[in-house]
Copies of this chain bind each other. A is one copy, B any other.
Amino acid sequence: MPENIGAAARAMANFGLTDLRLVEPREEWPSVEAERNAAGALEGIVTARVFDTLPDAITDLNVTFATTARTRDMNKQIFTPHEAVEHIQTSGFTTGLIFGPERTGLTNEDLKYCQHVLTFPVNPDFSSLNLAQAVLLMGYTLYESAGPGVIKPDQEPPASQQKLEDFFLRLEGALEDNGFYKAPHLKESIQRNIRTMFMRADFTDQELSTLQGVLSAFIQKN
């Protein structure tokens, strides 16, 4: 909804966040309604770009955090906002924070494309954060923790999401060709599990090349 996007942009601008990526916004973009709710944030401070799919929106990022209201039953590491910010600041990696729509939040399909999950600590008896408030809390936590003297270790960044996605698609295709998915109704959840476990490893470009080579060794033989 445009008003939620505007309010989120306003929350971002308060904390110097400028790169807003919209995935399939429900209404036309740019939007007067969004601008009305952005209190000026969309006029030269926050830049909004529109993408068709979540994977398209994150191709150039090294790391993504999915924000969810509740913990879910899945084997991904769950970060608090502070832990996520620490990760972002010590790694120095280009990182995206992914927020779901106001009412429904992120789907399991969305989570497939995110390395880590981030959950806000809130009162278990009354949890009622809206989208802009979630953005506000992340912006604040980032802004507040950012200071001079953040030391970035000499570490290879994870490969771009695009390369990771290329690898997954090729692996999934090869598995399909080899009759790996015996129960079609389980195919999606198996793919999700494989993605989840591989994403935890934060493969670098070099490592992904090695994995592509492994895959080629298996495929060419067939």
Interface set of A (CB-CB < 8 Å, partner B): 10-11, 13-16, 39-41, 45, 71, 73, 75, 77-78, 80-82, 119-123, 125-129, 133, 136-137, 140, 143-144, 147, 149-153, 155-156, 174-175, 178-180, 190, 193-194, 197-198, 200-204, 207, 210-211, 213-214, 217-222
The answer to whether A14 touches B122, judged by C-beta atoms less than 8 angstroms apart, is: yes
Please name 13 pairs of A and B residues whose Cβ atoms are closer than 8 Å in the assembled complex, sorted by A: A13-B126, A13-B128, A39-B128, A40-B126, A41-B126, A45-B126, A71-B153, A75-B207, A81-B144, A137-B137, A178-B218, A197-B204, A200-B200
Question: How far is B82's CA from A93's CA once the two chains are assembled, in angstroms?
Answer: 26
Among the listed B45, B144, B200, B217, which residue makes an inter-chain contact with A179, where contact means beta carbons less than 8 Å apart?
B217
Interchain nearest-CB distance for A120 vs B (Å): 8
